Amino acid sequence: MLNIVLFGPPGAGKGTQSSKLVEKFNLVHLSTGDIFRFNIKNETELGRLAKSYIDAGNLVPDEVTINMLEKEVTQYSDAKGFIFDGFPRTVPQAEALDMFLKSKNTSIQLMLALVVEEEELIKRLLLRGKDSGRADDTDESIIRNRIQVYNEQTAVAAKFYEAQGKYHAINGVGSVDEIFERLSSIIVEKQQ
């Protein structure tokens, strides 16, 4: 299996690049943000639980997020691998993912981290908010909170993969195709 964590702050381009990567490498895309939004739209219990955290730009509690993610992974029993987009976002999530994948006799091979500076992220998110319909993309103070949450709670999760020699930082500024090439070449290298 080829399991990749696509990492980076909100607005770094994880969703855009994930869609392209899953096609090229025949993987399953799991975005915890997308799964939460699906549940909110369908007014499930999970959606109701997650909504207030998401609207404020805070993280949904680890236990809820980890349970949801593990259920999703289990559904794709014949997957060739996964791209985890927006997960893990805390050290406990990274630890839980490691243990869970181990129980399935697999592991994360790569963490690809998209690097984009803060003011560029804010510009991109405000632009996306104009037509994404995402409430958390339209209010600058919520966007700034999401970036602060990333800096304070999420960025440390990279160290977990760094310690395992799996971390690669990628310049996340450029055209979609240029960034896709940067990511793809690291994956191809890993596969050889």
Residues binding ligand AMP (CB under 6 A): 10, 32-33, 36, 53-54, 57-60, 65, 86-87, 89, 93, 136, 146
Q: Which of 84, 80, 81, 89 is nearest to 5 (CA)?
A: 84
Half-sphere exposure of 119 (CA within 13 A, CB side): 0
Active site residue 134: yes
Q: CA-to-CA distance for 126 and 106, rounded, in angstroms?
A: 38
Active site residue 89: yes
Active site residue 128: yes
Structure-token pair, residue 171: 């310049």
Active site residue 48: no
- What minimum distance in Å lies between the beta carbon of 136 and ligand AMP? 6
When the beta carbons of 69 and 170 are compared against ligand AMP, the nearer one is 69
- What minimum distance in Å lies between the beta carbon of 67 and ligand AMP? 12
User: Which residues lie across from 112 on neighbouring strands?
Assistant: 6, 168
- 8 A C-beta contact, residue 90 and residue 62: yes
Which of 20, 51, 134, 182 is catalytic? The answer is 134
- What minimum distance in Å lies between the beta carbon of 60 and ligand AMP? 4
- What minimum distance in Å lies between the beta carbon of 24 and ligand AMP? 21
Half-sphere exposure of 53 (CA within 13 A, CB side): 17
Active site residue 144: no
Q: CA-to-CA distance for 79 and 2, rounded, in angstroms?
A: 9
When the beta carbons of 34 and 162 are compared against ligand AMP, the nearer one is 34
Q: Which residues are catalytic?
A: 14, 89, 128, 134, 146
